[in-house]
Protein backbone atom coordinates (compact mmCIF):
# COMPACT_ATOMS: atom_id res chain seq x y z
CA UNK A 1 0.00 0.00 0.00
CA UNK A 2 1.40 3.38 -1.03
CA UNK A 3 0.46 7.01 -0.46
CA UNK A 4 0.53 9.01 -3.70
CA UNK A 5 0.68 12.82 -3.57
CA UNK A 6 -0.75 14.47 -6.67
CA UNK A 7 1.39 17.57 -7.27
CA UNK A 8 -0.24 18.77 -10.49
CA UNK A 9 -1.29 22.18 -9.15
CA UNK A 10 2.10 22.72 -7.45
CA UNK A 11 3.98 21.97 -10.68
CA UNK A 12 1.76 24.33 -12.62
CA UNK A 13 2.05 27.11 -10.04
CA UNK A 14 5.86 27.10 -9.98
CA UNK A 15 6.00 26.96 -13.74
CA UNK A 16 4.95 30.61 -13.80
CA UNK A 17 5.62 31.94 -10.29
CA UNK A 18 8.62 31.58 -7.99
CA UNK A 19 7.11 32.95 -4.77
CA UNK A 20 4.55 30.71 -3.05
CA UNK A 21 1.38 31.83 -1.33
CA UNK A 22 0.14 30.02 1.77
CA UNK A 23 -1.35 27.02 -0.05
CA UNK A 24 1.79 26.33 -2.09
CA UNK A 25 4.05 26.83 0.92
CA UNK A 26 2.08 24.30 2.94
CA UNK A 27 2.01 21.76 0.10
CA UNK A 28 5.73 22.09 -0.61
CA UNK A 29 6.89 21.94 3.00
CA UNK A 30 4.66 18.99 3.88
CA UNK A 31 5.84 17.10 0.79
CA UNK A 32 9.46 17.73 1.74
CA UNK A 33 8.79 16.13 5.10
CA UNK A 34 6.85 13.26 3.52
CA UNK A 35 9.78 12.54 1.22
CA UNK A 36 12.05 12.44 4.26
CA UNK A 37 9.68 10.13 6.13
CA UNK A 38 9.09 7.59 3.37
CA UNK A 39 9.65 8.90 -0.13
CA UNK A 40 13.11 7.46 -0.60
CA UNK A 41 11.88 4.04 0.57
CA UNK A 42 8.99 4.03 -1.90
CA UNK A 43 6.18 4.08 0.66
CA UNK A 44 5.30 7.68 -0.23
CA UNK A 45 5.22 8.57 -3.90
CA UNK A 46 4.55 11.64 -6.01
CA UNK A 47 2.71 12.06 -9.28
CA UNK A 48 0.80 14.44 -11.52
CA UNK A 49 -2.07 13.93 -13.92
CA UNK A 50 -1.46 16.66 -16.48
CA UNK A 51 -3.99 17.37 -19.20
CA UNK A 52 -4.71 13.73 -19.99
CA UNK A 53 -7.98 12.02 -19.15
CA UNK A 54 -6.77 9.32 -16.79
CA UNK A 55 -3.00 9.05 -17.14
CA UNK A 56 -0.84 9.76 -14.08
CA UNK A 57 2.94 10.02 -14.26
CA UNK A 58 5.41 9.72 -11.44
CA UNK A 59 7.22 12.86 -10.29
CA UNK A 60 10.79 12.73 -9.02
CA UNK A 61 10.30 14.93 -5.99
CA UNK A 62 13.98 15.83 -5.37
CA UNK A 63 14.09 17.33 -8.89
CA UNK A 64 10.95 19.36 -8.24
CA UNK A 65 12.32 20.46 -4.87
CA UNK A 66 15.61 21.55 -6.47
CA UNK A 67 13.75 23.51 -9.13
CA UNK A 68 11.52 25.30 -6.65
CA UNK A 69 14.38 26.15 -4.29
CA UNK A 70 16.57 27.34 -7.16
CA UNK A 71 13.82 29.56 -8.58
CA UNK A 72 12.93 30.92 -5.15
CA UNK A 73 16.55 31.76 -4.33
CA UNK A 74 17.00 33.51 -7.68
CA UNK A 75 13.81 35.51 -7.20
CA UNK A 76 14.74 36.52 -3.67
CA UNK A 77 18.23 37.67 -4.65
CA UNK A 78 16.79 39.74 -7.50
CA UNK A 79 13.73 41.07 -5.68
CA UNK A 80 13.82 44.86 -5.25
CA UNK A 81 13.10 46.29 -1.83
CA UNK A 82 10.77 49.27 -1.88
CA UNK A 83 9.21 51.24 0.94
CA UNK A 84 7.08 53.61 -1.06
CA UNK A 85 3.78 53.32 -2.84
CA UNK A 86 3.97 50.99 -5.86
CA UNK A 87 3.55 52.25 -9.35
CA UNK A 88 0.05 51.29 -10.42
CA UNK A 89 -0.13 48.22 -12.66
CA UNK A 90 -1.09 49.05 -16.21
CA UNK A 91 -1.23 52.79 -15.53
CA UNK A 92 -2.59 53.78 -18.95
CA UNK A 93 -5.55 51.45 -18.59
CA UNK A 94 -6.27 52.73 -15.09
CA UNK A 95 -5.96 56.35 -16.26
CA UNK A 96 -8.41 55.65 -19.07
CA UNK A 97 -10.84 54.12 -16.61
CA UNK A 98 -10.46 57.08 -14.24
CA UNK A 99 -11.13 59.54 -17.06
CA UNK A 100 -14.22 57.63 -18.19
CA UNK A 101 -15.61 57.55 -14.64
CA UNK A 102 -14.99 61.27 -14.15
CA UNK A 103 -16.76 62.07 -17.40
CA UNK A 104 -19.67 59.74 -16.63
CA UNK A 105 -20.20 61.28 -13.19
CA UNK A 106 -19.32 64.89 -14.00
CA UNK A 107 -22.92 66.06 -13.78
CA UNK A 108 -22.97 66.92 -17.46
CA UNK A 109 -26.28 65.94 -18.97
CA UNK A 110 -25.14 63.44 -21.55
CA UNK A 111 -27.97 61.78 -23.44
CA UNK A 112 -28.68 58.17 -22.34
CA UNK A 113 -27.22 56.65 -25.51
CA UNK A 114 -23.82 58.14 -24.50
CA UNK A 115 -24.04 57.87 -20.68
CA UNK A 116 -24.91 54.16 -20.61
CA UNK A 117 -22.00 53.02 -22.87
CA UNK A 118 -19.56 55.06 -20.76
CA UNK A 119 -20.64 53.17 -17.64
CA UNK A 120 -20.41 49.84 -19.43
CA UNK A 121 -16.90 50.60 -20.71
CA UNK A 122 -15.74 51.73 -17.26
CA UNK A 123 -17.06 48.61 -15.55
CA UNK A 124 -15.55 46.41 -18.25
CA UNK A 125 -12.11 47.93 -17.69
CA UNK A 126 -12.38 47.27 -13.95
CA UNK A 127 -13.30 43.63 -14.63
CA UNK A 128 -10.39 43.27 -17.05
CA UNK A 129 -7.95 44.66 -14.48
CA UNK A 130 -9.26 42.29 -11.82
CA UNK A 131 -9.14 39.26 -14.10
CA UNK A 132 -5.68 39.82 -15.59
CA UNK A 133 -3.68 37.90 -12.94
CA UNK A 134 -5.84 34.80 -13.34
CA UNK A 135 -5.91 35.06 -17.13
CA UNK A 136 -2.12 35.26 -17.20
CA UNK A 137 -1.84 32.33 -14.81
CA UNK A 138 -4.18 30.20 -16.92
CA UNK A 139 -2.39 31.10 -20.14
CA UNK A 140 0.99 30.12 -18.72
CA UNK A 141 -0.37 26.93 -17.22
CA UNK A 142 -1.57 25.84 -20.64
CA UNK A 143 1.99 25.62 -21.94
CA UNK A 144 2.87 22.92 -19.38
CA UNK A 145 2.23 19.62 -21.18
CA UNK A 146 0.85 16.91 -18.96
CA UNK A 147 3.35 14.31 -20.20
CA UNK A 148 6.51 16.44 -20.39
CA UNK A 149 9.71 14.70 -19.32
CA UNK A 150 11.31 17.99 -18.27
CA UNK A 151 9.98 21.21 -16.81
CA UNK A 152 11.26 24.74 -16.79
CA UNK A 153 11.26 26.40 -13.37
CA UNK A 154 12.87 29.78 -12.88
CA UNK A 155 14.54 29.63 -16.29
CA UNK A 156 16.19 26.24 -15.69
CA UNK A 157 15.27 22.78 -16.95
CA UNK A 158 14.72 19.97 -14.45
CA UNK A 159 14.15 16.28 -15.09
CA UNK A 160 10.84 15.85 -13.32
CA UNK A 161 8.76 12.92 -14.45
CA UNK A 162 9.23 9.20 -14.83
CA UNK A 163 7.06 6.30 -15.83
CA UNK A 164 3.31 5.94 -15.85
CA UNK A 165 1.75 5.35 -12.43
CA UNK A 166 0.39 1.90 -11.65
CA UNK A 167 -2.03 2.11 -8.75
CA UNK A 168 -2.71 -0.90 -6.53
CA UNK A 169 -5.70 -1.78 -4.40
CA UNK A 170 -5.62 0.08 -1.10
CA UNK A 171 -3.35 2.90 -2.31
CA UNK A 172 -4.15 6.47 -1.30
CA UNK A 173 -4.22 9.38 -3.77
CA UNK A 174 -3.91 12.63 -1.84
CA UNK A 175 -4.27 16.26 -2.93
CA UNK A 176 -2.92 18.94 -0.58
CA UNK A 177 -3.01 22.10 -2.66
CA UNK A 178 -5.59 23.71 -4.95
CA UNK A 179 -6.79 20.77 -7.08
CA UNK A 180 -9.94 22.57 -8.21
CA UNK A 181 -7.71 24.44 -10.68
CA UNK A 182 -6.81 21.14 -12.38
CA UNK A 183 -9.88 18.96 -11.72
CA UNK A 184 -10.16 15.23 -12.22
CA UNK A 185 -12.28 13.99 -15.09
CA UNK A 186 -14.86 11.26 -14.76
CA UNK A 187 -12.32 8.94 -16.40
CA UNK A 188 -10.01 9.48 -13.43
CA UNK A 189 -12.73 8.57 -10.95
CA UNK A 190 -13.52 5.45 -12.96
CA UNK A 191 -9.84 4.48 -12.92
CA UNK A 192 -9.58 4.97 -9.16
CA UNK A 193 -12.75 2.96 -8.52
CA UNK A 194 -11.59 0.14 -10.79
CA UNK A 195 -8.23 -0.07 -8.98
CA UNK A 196 -9.80 0.30 -5.51
CA UNK A 197 -7.72 3.44 -4.86
CA UNK A 198 -8.80 5.60 -1.95
CA UNK A 199 -9.00 9.38 -2.34
CA UNK A 200 -8.11 12.05 0.24
CA UNK A 201 -8.09 15.85 0.04
CA UNK A 202 -7.09 18.78 2.21
CA UNK A 203 -9.46 21.76 2.52
CA UNK A 204 -7.76 25.11 3.09
CA UNK A 205 -10.86 27.29 3.10
CA UNK A 206 -14.34 27.54 1.61
CA UNK A 207 -14.06 31.08 0.24
CA UNK A 208 -15.37 30.52 -3.32
CA UNK A 209 -18.44 28.72 -1.95
CA UNK A 210 -19.19 30.88 1.10
CA UNK A 211 -18.08 34.25 -0.28
CA UNK A 212 -18.09 34.15 -4.09
CA UNK A 213 -17.93 37.95 -4.14
CA UNK A 214 -14.29 37.69 -3.02
CA UNK A 215 -13.22 35.34 -5.79
CA UNK A 216 -12.82 35.46 -9.55
CA UNK A 217 -15.81 33.90 -11.29
CA UNK A 218 -13.77 31.11 -12.89
CA UNK A 219 -12.46 30.05 -9.48
CA UNK A 220 -16.00 29.99 -8.06
CA UNK A 221 -17.15 27.69 -10.85
CA UNK A 222 -14.13 25.37 -10.56
CA UNK A 223 -14.31 25.21 -6.76
CA UNK A 224 -17.98 24.30 -6.74
CA UNK A 225 -17.35 21.59 -9.30
CA UNK A 226 -14.54 20.24 -7.08
CA UNK A 227 -16.87 20.09 -4.07
CA UNK A 228 -19.48 18.20 -6.05
CA UNK A 229 -17.04 15.73 -7.60
CA UNK A 230 -13.72 15.15 -5.81
CA UNK A 231 -14.82 16.00 -2.26
CA UNK A 232 -17.94 13.86 -2.52
CA UNK A 233 -15.73 10.99 -3.73
CA UNK A 234 -13.20 11.27 -0.89
CA UNK A 235 -12.67 8.48 1.60
CA UNK A 236 -10.76 10.83 3.92
CA UNK A 237 -10.87 14.60 4.34
CA UNK A 238 -8.41 16.91 6.06
CA UNK A 239 -8.68 20.56 7.07
CA UNK A 240 -6.17 23.16 8.19
CA UNK A 241 -8.36 24.36 11.08
CA UNK A 242 -11.44 23.41 13.06
CA UNK A 243 -13.22 26.38 11.50
CA UNK A 244 -12.55 25.09 7.98
CA UNK A 245 -13.60 21.57 9.00
CA UNK A 246 -16.96 22.90 10.23
CA UNK A 247 -17.44 25.01 7.09
CA UNK A 248 -16.69 22.01 4.86
CA UNK A 249 -19.16 19.71 6.62
CA UNK A 250 -21.87 22.38 6.56
CA UNK A 251 -21.31 23.17 2.88
CA UNK A 252 -21.52 19.52 1.91
CA UNK A 253 -24.63 19.02 4.08
CA UNK A 254 -26.27 21.92 2.24
CA UNK A 255 -25.68 19.94 -0.97
CA UNK A 256 -27.31 16.89 0.60
CA UNK A 257 -24.05 15.00 1.05
CA UNK A 258 -22.68 13.71 4.35
CA UNK A 259 -18.87 13.49 4.38
CA UNK A 260 -16.40 11.90 6.79
CA UNK A 261 -15.50 14.25 9.68
CA UNK A 262 -12.35 16.06 8.48
CA UNK A 263 -9.11 15.43 10.33
CA UNK A 264 -7.62 18.76 11.45
CA UNK A 265 -3.90 18.96 10.68
CA UNK A 266 -1.52 21.13 12.71
CA UNK A 267 -0.18 23.89 10.45
CA UNK A 268 3.59 23.82 10.68
CA UNK A 269 6.32 26.42 10.57
CA UNK A 270 9.98 26.63 9.63
CA UNK A 271 12.94 27.68 11.78
CA UNK A 272 13.36 31.42 11.79
CA UNK A 273 15.47 32.74 8.88
CA UNK A 274 18.22 35.22 9.44
CA UNK A 275 16.76 38.68 8.90
CA UNK A 276 17.84 41.01 6.14
CA UNK A 277 18.03 44.18 8.17
CA UNK A 278 18.23 46.24 4.98
CA UNK A 279 14.59 45.36 4.44
CA UNK A 280 13.30 47.34 7.38
CA UNK A 281 13.20 51.14 7.35
CA UNK A 282 16.64 52.60 7.89
CA UNK A 283 17.67 54.14 11.20
CA UNK A 284 16.09 57.54 11.69
CA UNK A 285 12.94 56.68 9.79
CA UNK A 286 9.59 56.41 11.51
CA UNK A 287 8.53 53.32 13.49
CA UNK A 288 5.99 51.16 11.73
CA UNK A 289 3.23 48.59 12.12
CA UNK A 290 3.35 45.67 9.69
CA UNK A 291 0.62 43.90 7.69
CA UNK A 292 1.75 40.83 5.74
CA UNK A 293 -0.74 39.72 3.11
CA UNK A 294 -1.59 39.71 -0.56
CA UNK A 295 -3.52 42.89 -1.25
CA UNK A 296 -7.01 41.63 -2.00
CA UNK A 297 -10.45 42.66 -0.82
CA UNK A 298 -10.89 39.81 1.69
CA UNK A 299 -7.73 40.73 3.56
CA UNK A 300 -9.36 44.04 4.47
CA UNK A 301 -6.51 46.47 3.83
CA UNK A 302 -9.26 49.06 3.43
CA UNK A 303 -9.94 48.91 7.18
CA UNK A 304 -6.32 49.72 7.98
CA UNK A 305 -6.42 52.58 5.47
CA UNK A 306 -9.42 54.06 7.29
CA UNK A 307 -7.83 53.63 10.72
CA UNK A 308 -4.53 55.25 9.72
CA UNK A 309 -6.34 58.14 8.07
CA UNK A 310 -8.32 58.69 11.27
CA UNK A 311 -5.24 58.43 13.50
CA UNK A 312 -3.43 61.03 11.41
CA UNK A 313 -6.44 63.28 11.89
CA UNK A 314 -6.87 62.65 15.64
CA UNK A 315 -3.27 62.37 16.85
CA UNK A 316 -0.09 64.43 16.52
CA UNK A 317 1.55 63.10 13.35
CA UNK A 318 4.81 62.26 15.11
CA UNK A 319 2.94 59.84 17.40
CA UNK A 320 1.46 57.85 14.50
CA UNK A 321 3.69 55.05 13.21
CA UNK A 322 3.78 54.24 9.54
CA UNK A 323 1.81 51.30 8.17
CA UNK A 324 3.76 48.87 5.96
CA UNK A 325 1.94 46.53 3.57
CA UNK A 326 4.17 43.55 2.66
CA UNK A 327 2.95 41.17 -0.02
CA UNK A 328 1.85 41.33 -3.61
CA UNK A 329 -0.99 42.97 -5.47
CA UNK A 330 -3.84 40.52 -5.88
CA UNK A 331 -7.25 40.70 -7.46
CA UNK A 332 -10.39 42.82 -7.03
CA UNK A 333 -8.31 45.72 -5.69
CA UNK A 334 -8.61 48.38 -8.39
CA UNK A 335 -10.76 50.69 -6.23
CA UNK A 336 -8.53 50.41 -3.16
CA UNK A 337 -5.32 51.02 -5.11
CA UNK A 338 -6.90 54.02 -6.80
CA UNK A 339 -7.90 55.49 -3.40
CA UNK A 340 -4.37 55.01 -2.06
CA UNK A 341 -2.87 56.61 -5.15
CA UNK A 342 -5.28 59.55 -4.99
CA UNK A 343 -4.06 60.46 -1.49
CA UNK A 344 -0.42 59.60 -2.28
CA UNK A 345 -0.63 56.66 0.13
CA UNK A 346 -1.55 59.03 2.95
CA UNK A 347 1.38 61.26 2.02
CA UNK A 348 3.77 58.35 2.36
CA UNK A 349 2.58 57.16 5.76
CA UNK A 350 1.45 53.88 4.20
CA UNK A 351 4.31 52.08 2.49
CA UNK A 352 4.43 49.01 0.32
CA UNK A 353 7.06 46.24 0.15
CA UNK A 354 6.24 44.10 -2.90
CA UNK A 355 6.83 40.33 -2.65
CA UNK A 356 9.51 40.41 0.07
CA UNK A 357 11.97 37.54 0.32
CA UNK A 358 12.02 35.40 3.45
CA UNK A 359 15.05 37.29 4.75
CA UNK A 360 13.46 40.65 3.98
CA UNK A 361 10.28 39.56 5.69
CA UNK A 362 12.26 38.49 8.76
CA UNK A 363 13.80 41.96 8.91
CA UNK A 364 10.38 43.59 8.62
CA UNK A 365 8.96 41.42 11.42
CA UNK A 366 11.87 42.08 13.74
CA UNK A 367 11.74 45.82 13.17
CA UNK A 368 7.99 46.42 13.55
CA UNK A 369 6.11 47.59 16.65
CA UNK A 370 3.49 44.86 16.16
CA UNK A 371 1.50 43.41 13.27
CA UNK A 372 -2.11 43.73 12.12
CA UNK A 373 -4.27 41.16 10.36
CA UNK A 374 -7.85 42.40 9.78
CA UNK A 375 -8.93 39.65 7.37
CA UNK A 376 -12.65 39.01 6.96
CA UNK A 377 -12.21 35.25 6.54
CA UNK A 378 -9.34 32.77 6.64
CA UNK A 379 -8.94 29.04 6.40
CA UNK A 380 -6.05 29.27 8.86
CA UNK A 381 -4.20 32.60 9.05
CA UNK A 382 -0.54 31.91 8.30
CA UNK A 383 0.57 35.56 8.78
CA UNK A 384 -0.77 35.39 12.35
CA UNK A 385 1.19 32.30 13.35
CA UNK A 386 4.19 33.63 11.41
CA UNK A 387 4.12 36.89 13.37
CA UNK A 388 3.93 35.00 16.67
CA UNK A 389 6.86 32.86 15.59
CA UNK A 390 8.89 36.07 15.33
CA UNK A 391 7.71 37.07 18.80
CA UNK A 392 5.43 39.85 17.57
CA UNK A 393 1.87 40.21 18.78
CA UNK A 394 -0.98 40.70 16.33
CA UNK A 395 -3.96 43.04 16.36
CA UNK A 396 -6.19 40.54 14.61
CA UNK A 397 -9.68 39.93 13.29
CA UNK A 398 -11.87 37.70 15.46
CA UNK A 399 -13.37 35.89 12.45
CA UNK A 400 -13.30 32.25 11.29
CA UNK A 401 -10.05 30.41 12.05
CA UNK A 402 -7.94 33.42 13.02
CA UNK A 403 -8.41 32.90 16.80
CA UNK A 404 -7.21 29.31 16.29
CA UNK A 405 -4.02 30.59 14.70
CA UNK A 406 -3.55 33.39 17.24
CA UNK A 407 -4.79 31.79 20.47
CA UNK A 408 -4.35 34.05 23.49
CA UNK A 409 -1.49 35.99 21.94
CA UNK A 410 -3.46 38.59 19.97
CA UNK A 411 -5.65 41.62 20.52
CA UNK A 412 -8.90 40.84 18.69
CA UNK A 413 -11.59 43.04 17.14
CA UNK A 414 -14.55 42.83 14.78
CA UNK A 415 -13.04 43.50 11.31
CA UNK A 416 -16.24 45.20 10.14
CA UNK A 417 -16.38 47.59 13.10
CA UNK A 418 -14.06 50.49 12.30
CA UNK A 419 -14.51 52.15 15.70
CA UNK A 420 -13.74 48.97 17.66
CA UNK A 421 -10.67 48.15 15.55
CA UNK A 422 -9.48 51.74 15.88
CA UNK A 423 -9.66 51.57 19.68
CA UNK A 424 -7.70 48.31 19.81
CA UNK A 425 -4.93 49.48 17.48
CA UNK A 426 -4.64 52.96 18.90
CA UNK A 427 -4.59 51.45 22.39
CA UNK A 428 -1.52 49.43 21.46
CA UNK A 429 0.19 52.51 20.04
CA UNK A 430 -0.67 54.67 23.06
CA UNK A 431 0.26 51.95 25.57
CA UNK A 432 3.44 50.16 24.40
CA UNK A 433 3.56 48.37 27.75
CA UNK A 434 0.63 46.24 26.52
CA UNK A 435 2.67 45.16 23.53
CA UNK A 436 5.68 44.41 25.73
CA UNK A 437 3.57 42.29 28.08
CA UNK A 438 2.12 40.27 25.20
CA UNK A 439 5.57 39.75 23.68
CA UNK A 440 6.73 38.38 27.02
CA UNK A 441 3.76 36.00 27.01
CA UNK A 442 4.59 34.88 23.47
CA UNK A 443 8.23 34.24 24.37
CA UNK A 444 7.23 32.22 27.42
CA UNK A 445 4.34 30.19 26.02
CA UNK A 446 4.05 30.11 22.21
CA UNK A 447 5.19 26.75 20.82
CA UNK A 448 4.22 26.28 17.16
CA UNK A 449 4.21 22.86 15.47
CA UNK A 450 6.71 22.04 12.72
CA UNK A 451 6.01 20.91 9.16
CA UNK A 452 7.24 17.50 10.27
CA UNK A 453 4.32 17.47 12.72
CA UNK A 454 1.95 18.25 9.85
CA UNK A 455 3.32 15.44 7.70
CA UNK A 456 3.24 12.95 10.57
CA UNK A 457 -0.36 13.83 11.39
CA UNK A 458 -1.32 13.25 7.75
CA UNK A 459 0.32 9.83 7.66
CA UNK A 460 -1.07 8.93 11.06
CA UNK A 461 -4.58 9.32 9.62
CA UNK A 462 -3.83 7.35 6.43
CA UNK A 463 -1.57 4.50 7.47
CA UNK A 464 -1.93 2.02 10.32
CA UNK A 465 1.77 2.21 11.25
CA UNK A 466 2.47 5.90 10.75
CA UNK A 467 5.07 7.85 12.76
CA UNK A 468 3.92 8.68 16.27
CA UNK A 469 2.91 12.29 16.86
CA UNK A 470 1.96 14.32 19.87
CA UNK A 471 -1.66 14.90 20.69
CA UNK A 472 -3.15 17.86 18.78
CA UNK A 473 -3.46 21.08 20.73
CA UNK A 474 -6.59 21.60 22.79
CA UNK A 475 -9.34 23.78 21.28
CA UNK A 476 -8.61 27.46 21.64
CA UNK A 477 -10.63 29.18 24.32
CA UNK A 478 -12.40 32.45 23.61
CA UNK A 479 -9.58 34.90 22.88
CA UNK A 480 -8.58 37.69 25.20
CA UNK A 481 -7.30 41.14 24.36
CA UNK A 482 -3.84 42.41 25.14
CA UNK A 483 -4.78 44.51 28.12
At residue 161, φ and ψ (nearest 5 deg) are: -110, 155
Report DSSP state, residue 295. Answer: B
Alpha helices in 164-241 (DSSP H): 186-195, 207-210, 217-226, 232-233
Residue 149's alpha-carbon distances to 57, 109, 146, 162, in angstroms, are 10, 63, 9, 7
Residues of the chain with pLDDT under 70: 39-41, 50-54, 71-161, 273-284, 465-483
Backbone angles phi, psi at 149, to 5 degrees: -85, -20
Please list, residue by residue across 144-167, b when 16 or more beta carbons sit within 10 angstroms of its beta carbon and e when fewer do. bebebeebbbbeeebebbeeebeb
Helices within 256-406 (DSSP H only) = 301-314, 334-342, 344-348, 358-367, 382-389, 402-406
Q: What is the pLDDT of residues 376-412, one digit of tens each?
A: 999 999 999 999 999 999 999 999 999 999 999 999 9
Distance between CA atoms of 77 and 55, rounded to whole angstroms?
A: 38
Predicted local confidence at residue 67, as pLDDT: 80
Give this prediction's pTM. Answer: 0.79
The topology under which CATH files domain 277-445 is Rossmann fold (3.40.50)
C-alpha dihedral sign at 165, 167, 171, 177: positive
Could you state, in order of their start, the residue ranges of all structural domains in the chain?
3-80+145-264, 91-141, 277-445
Cβ-based burial of 430 (10 A; exposed 0-12, middle 13-18, buried ≥19): exposed
pLDDT of residue 54: 67
CA nearest to 265, candidates 469, 446, 442: 469
Question: Which ranges constitute the DSSP H helices of 227-351?
Answer: 232-233, 242-254, 301-314, 334-342, 344-348
Q: What is the pLDDT of residues 317-372, one digit of tens each?
A: 999 999 999 998 887 778 888 899 999 999 999 999 988 888 889 999 999 999 99
pLDDT given at position 161: 67
Amino acid sequence: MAVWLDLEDLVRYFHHDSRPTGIQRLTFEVCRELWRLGGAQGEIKFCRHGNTASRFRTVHFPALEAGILTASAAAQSAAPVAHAAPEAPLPRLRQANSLIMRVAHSGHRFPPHIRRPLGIIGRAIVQILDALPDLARAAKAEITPGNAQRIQIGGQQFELEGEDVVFHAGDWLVTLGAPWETPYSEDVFELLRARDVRLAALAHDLIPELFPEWAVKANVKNFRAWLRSSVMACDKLFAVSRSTAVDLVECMAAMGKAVPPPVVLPVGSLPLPEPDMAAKPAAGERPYVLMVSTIEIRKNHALMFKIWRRMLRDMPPDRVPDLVFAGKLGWLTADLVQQLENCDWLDGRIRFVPSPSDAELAGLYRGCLFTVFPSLYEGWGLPVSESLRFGKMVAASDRASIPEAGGNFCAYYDPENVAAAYEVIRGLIDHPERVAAMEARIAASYRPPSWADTAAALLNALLPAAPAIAEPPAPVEYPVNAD
